[in-house]
Chains A and B, each alone.
Chain A
């Protein structure tokens, strides 16, 4: 029998509380997922169709203008180049745009029921992870198309095993950032708008739809600090080139993700006691 005597704010208690409420987390993620595709004719098909449509648009715009070569010197079809990063990017950006609103949109729950508040941003990330899983099928489809057409060849090898690790690191990074954004937006609603703009900008500087400028320019060096660049490079290495991702890239992503998660969660927990009265 639980006795609640004091309000705990530590990270450790956060982890155990969220674990206790894991079913709620999944229920909320399921709710968001189901509601997203409810009362629509295509339903969950949208989760598959949207990334494909986005990819088609990008391919139409960029395929002639961007020249891409693999490490072994082969030309990379643009659609492949984009798809390998676009699918994880969509997971990242849809998670964050969901997270930033997650507390404010669930205001009636925040002020009427108690459960660990982390559940809100986490469930957003989990919901987007479901979409990500479906979009990954689309990615496989694109890869299969190019393999069948003969424009590219894949050799499934051990490098693919690194993909789940990348997804875990990305999820940790997203959850950490998501908690900070959700919390900040609760106090200052400006954060939601800023997040929208920032995600637009990030799309262009994270090597998602266009590669980083090469040739050691100052801008290129600056952009290389973006952990998402390392993340996208790692995804491409595994998925397109059959290589184990660069250790430095992976380490950088891992460190950033761990920092974001620890700092984000600690700050979030400390502030969460005031959520109900400040929302």
Chain B
């Protein structure tokens, strides 16, 4: 008889280990310890994020939960109907129409025909594919394919939903709707296990997260702390690698070479750490083996491998350097960076604008520590000040809603800005506008 507490546990992993044989046949002798003694449990209606580098064992956890794999050691308990979304549209058949695939995929996920018939409209609506219901899915775009796949799985009404990195497909509007749907399922009591590399997305859904690394659980706790733990671990891994960065960069191309990159403070003293929002300079020493009359220099800065936080491109700022053959110094002056404390990495690209060729593109390296005295929790760390503005009597006086016509458009950023314009997402944008090309 399970205790009262056990009734609320939807998923539990008890010291689970799983080993894979590498190689073509199952008799191959090389083994990979995909999971080693991993334990966790998830309560009913809770969402657990699973993050970690590639090959950490995240998908293996999901496959074990789905019953696709059997653990070598340890116990697994799953209560209720499981809907695995390990790959959207696994089991779609290209020659069948959207409608036929809904019935087939629904059956694969354990729904009865009557149940699917009842939910058909909702599934189709959610995917926004009303007009293409009778088109064979081989004519679908990959986004339509993904939308249909997610929509079916999200309508299974599972007790446990397993989601593996499926939301990276589909457009932004659909991604938002998927997150909404997942949130609603959780509110309705569904347990969610969410594997993803999109750390922000994970945090919007999951309050708790687990970090896997090399098949072991390295952290479990509040999602924000897990993300911090993971990014810190990733930075450490990066730092280890960055020692060889100079070598690979100085190998360069026959035409251009980065001899040195250093960060200096306002007084010109080299630094490896700087307080947030204090101006500094990046000095570059380059060797060119031929004259480049229109040289574009670009420095990018990142905290994680995915996204540039900063990209300074001399060409976009209107500076093309006319550089003769030989060794030269170029420097970039930066006002202070308003970013959260942590480790940041640089990459240098050199571009010959006359011949339209890349001269050099180094890996990310050259770590710079930014210290914010532990004050920032978001991505940015900007000056701010809180005020108490006094007591009011009327609820909305001075706070009337602004209509779009009244609102003035923000000034366009100056052309010298380093920022690319962001694609705007209108909440009313429908899929009609995004139909088949």
Decide yes or no whether B96 CB sits under 8 A from chain A.
yes
Decide yes or no whether B87 CB sits under 8 A from chain A.
yes
Determine whether the beta carbon of A108 is less than 8 Å from that of B91: yes
Decide yes or no whether B78 CB sits under 8 A from chain A.
yes
Interface centre among A1, A35, A113, A276 (most CB of B within 10 A): A113
Give the distance to chain B from A119, nearest Cβ to Cβ, in Å: 9
List which A30-71 residues lie within 8 A (CB) of chain B: 31, 34-35, 38-39
Task: Report if A276-B95 is in contact (Cβ < 8 Å); known contacts: A23-B107, A24-B108, A31-B104.
Answer: no
For B103, the closest partner residue in chain A by CB is A27
Determine whether the beta carbon of B77 is less than 8 Å from that of A5: yes
Choose one: B63, B78, B100, B110; the contact of A31 (CB below 8 Å).
B100
Determine whether the beta carbon of B87 is less than 8 Å from that of A23: no
Decide yes or no whether B349 CB sits under 8 A from chain A.
no
How far does the alpha carbon of A113 sit from the alpha carbon of B95 in the complex, in Å?
21
How far does the alpha carbon of A133 sit from the alpha carbon of B408 in the complex, in Å?
72
Decide yes or no whether B40 CB sits under 8 A from chain A.
no
Determine whether the beta carbon of B108 is less than 8 Å from that of A31: no
| Chain B residues within 8 Å of chain A by Cβ, number | 37
**Looking at the complex, which of B65-73, B229-237, B262-270, B330-338 is the stretch in contact with chain A?**
B65-73
Determine whether the beta carbon of B67 is less than 8 Å from that of A7: yes
Determine whether the beta carbon of A112 is less than 8 Å from that of B87: yes
Residues of A within 8 A of B67 (CB): 4, 7, 114
A1-27 to B contact mask, C-beta < 8 Å, 1/0:
111111100000000000001011001
Choose one: B70, B80, B86, B107; the contact of A1 (CB below 8 Å).
B80
How far does the alpha carbon of A114 sit from the alpha carbon of B231 in the complex, in Å?
33
Decide yes or no whether A187 CB sits under 8 A from chain B.
yes
Determine whether the beta carbon of A113 is less than 8 Å from that of B86: yes
How far does the alpha carbon of A29 sit from the alpha carbon of B96 in the complex, in Å?
13
List which A89-122 residues lie within 8 A (CB) of chain B: 106, 108-115
Determine whether the beta carbon of B75 is less than 8 Å from that of A5: yes
Determine whether the beta carbon of A35 is less than 8 Å from that of B95: yes
Choose one: B69, B112, B159; the contact of A277 (CB below 8 Å).
B69
List which B1-60 residues lie within 8 A (CB) of chain A: 20-21, 25-26
Choose one: B70, B81, B86, B90; the contact of A2 (CB below 8 Å).
B81
Determine whether the beta carbon of A34 is less than 8 Å from that of B96: yes
Give the distance to chain A from B161, nearest Cβ to Cβ, in Å: 13
How far does the alpha carbon of A21 sit from the alpha carbon of B87 in the complex, in Å?
21
Residues of A within 8 A of B104 (CB): 27-28, 31
Residues of A within 8 A of B107 (CB): 23-24, 27-28
Determine whether the beta carbon of A113 is less than 8 Å from that of B91: yes
For B114, the closest partner residue in chain A by CB is A23
Task: Report if A274-B84 is in contact (Cβ < 8 Å); known contacts: A7-B70, A108-B91, A115-B108.
Answer: no
Residues of A within 8 A of B113 (CB): 23
| Chain A residues within 8 Å of chain B by Cβ, number | 32
Determine whether the beta carbon of B96 is less than 8 Å from that of A113: no
Task: Report if A276-B68 is in contact (Cβ < 8 Å); known contacts: A24-B108, A31-B104, A113-B84.
Answer: yes
Residues of A within 8 A of B197 (CB): none
Give the distance to chain A from B39, nearest Cβ to Cβ, in Å: 15
List which A227-279 residues lie within 8 A (CB) of chain B: 273-274, 276-278
Residues of B within 8 A of A4 (CB): 67, 76-78
For B164, the closest partner residue in chain A by CB is A112
Decide yes or no whether B277 CB sits under 8 A from chain A.
no
Choose one: B68, B75, B93; the contact of A114 (CB below 8 Å).
B68
Task: Report if A115-B110 is in contact (Cβ < 8 Å); known contacts: A4-B77, A276-B63.
Answer: yes
Task: Report if A108-B87 is in contact (Cβ < 8 Å); known contacts: A5-B75, A28-B104, A35-B96.
Answer: yes
For B70, the closest partner residue in chain A by CB is A273
Decide yes or no whether B79 CB sits under 8 A from chain A.
yes
For B12, the closest partner residue in chain A by CB is A5
Residues of A within 8 A of B96 (CB): 31, 34-35, 38
Task: Please give 8 more A-B residue pairs, beta carbons under 8 A apart, in addition to A2-B79, A276-B69.
Answer: A2-B80, A2-B81, A24-B107, A31-B93, A38-B96, A39-B95, A187-B26, A277-B21
19 A-B pairs in the complex with CB atoms less than 8 angstroms apart: A3-B78, A4-B76, A4-B77, A34-B100, A35-B95, A108-B90, A108-B91, A109-B90, A109-B108, A110-B68, A112-B68, A112-B87, A113-B90, A114-B68, A114-B84, A115-B110, A187-B25, A277-B21, A278-B26
Taking Cβ atoms with an 8 Å cutoff, the residues of A that contact B are 1-7, 21, 23-24, 27-28, 31, 34-35, 38-39, 106, 108-115, 187, 273-274, 276-278
